[in-house]
Structure 1
Amino acid sequence: MNVTRKPPVLVIDGDRFDDYEGFTREFSSLLDDHRWHGNLDAFSDILSGGFGTPEEGFTLRWDHSDRSRRVLGHRAQADLLRAALPHVHPDNARGFRARIAHAEHGRGPTLFDTITEIIREHRPGGPLPGNVVLTLV
């Protein structure tokens, strides 16, 4: 008898945080024996599996995602980019500053958009390894 197991469901609760640091804590609480410190490249690696997430993939259910969309908006995107600016290669600094200015003026992707895009890149059949199904509730 071949039994197909449903992938585990990990839940982010958008009512449990008010900023990116809170999102970082909320997501880290889902991980087994691993702590994520907020770097988005590391976030992508974690979603590939094996860094505290199930190797076989999982469903990531984001409850109260509309609230998260607001608190992880353009201002949060600008803040995150601004914090990273000192670490950007000088050749890329001008473009990076332009991204900050866009976010400060409410243009371009929000931080919520950036995070959900990273998650979606790890979808089944997506361009990056992993098997993550994102459900926004």
Structure 2
Amino acid sequence: MTVTYVIDGAEVTDLDRFWQVIGAAVNGPGGYFGRNLDALADCLRGGCGTPDDGDFVIEWRRHDLSRRALGQEETVRTLQRRLERAHPDNKAAIQAELDDVLAGRGPTVFDELVQLIEEEAPGVLRLG
């Protein structure tokens, strides 16, 4: 039997809130389902609250609201935070990514989340 986890796009106001919303959708209030892209990828592979057989769907309702909230402005904010904490060897690559986003090029945080979910758990994501 397929388990459906619902994300209400109206609740996703920034990336930090996304982590809270998806954690609650999968594991109940205060639940965890990643706090960064690598952790989300691990969770999507199983063992973090989803069924052992992998039979689940993430239904992202009103995703258009999340797309706006996780758009260019949030992507810039996220990259600036990454740049502040980055190892010196990684700063140039993050700065280049930030420069692209500031110029209106490259994926947004929303795009990265959708791509990651589709890569790690093909067919699981339903945008509505």
SS at match of 1:59: strand
Moved over 3 A (4+): none
Which runs of 5 or more residues in structure 1 are unaligned?
A: 125-131
Could you state the TM-score of these two structures normalised by the residue count of structure 1? Answer: 0.81
Q: Deviations over 1:104-124 (max 9, x none)?
A: 232100110000011001234
RMSD: 1.8
Does 2:26 correspond to 1:28?
A: no
Q: Is the 8 A contact 2:82 2:94 kept in 1?
A: no
Q: Is the 8 A contact 2:5 2:25 kept in 1?
A: yes
Which runs of 5 or more residues in structure 2 are unaligned?
A: none
Instruction: Count residues in correspondence.
Output: 125
Task: State how far apart, in whole Å, the 2-side matches of 1:77 and 1:104 are.
Answer: 9
Of 7-16 and 52-61, the range deviating more from structure 2: 52-61
Q: Which has the larger radius of gyration?
A: 1
| Bigger fraction of residues in helix | 2
SS at match of 2:43: helix
Q: Is the 8 A contact 1:74 1:107 kept in 2?
A: no
Q: Is the 8 A contact 1:102 1:108 kept in 2?
A: yes
Could you state the TM-score of these two structures normalised by the residue count of structure 2? Answer: 0.86
SS at match of 2:25: coil
SS at match of 1:31: helix
Of 107-116 and 95-104, the range deviating more from structure 2: 95-104
